[in-house]
Amino acid sequence: MDAAQKKRRTPQPMCPVRAGDPCSLCVPGATGPQDCPLVLLVMDDPELRERANELRQAARAKR
């Protein structure tokens, strides 16, 4: 394994519910945000989706 291969990292999916945090697989059985029931509930509710979007934007602005 050369230096370029050692530096390469696998991308970590970010949690759409907890702004700025990586997916920690907090829901049993979930393999990531793509099949997380909590993410599904938040994204299906228009008000929760808007609030999650606001929190993500605020987290980006802090960086």
**Token digits of residue 59:** 């987290």
Write phi, then psi, for 22 (nearest 5 degrees).
-70, 160
pLDDT at 5: 62
Separation of CA 22 from chain center: 5
pLDDT at 17: 85
Distance of alpha carbon 18 from alpha carbon 27, whole angstroms: 13
Distance of alpha carbon 30 from alpha carbon 39, whole angstroms: 10
Band the pLDDT of 3: cuts 50, 70, 90. Answer: low
- Domain range summary for the chain, segments of one domain joined by +: 27-63
* pLDDT 10s digits, 4-57: 666 788 888 888 888 888 899 888 989 888 999 999 999 999 999 999 999 889
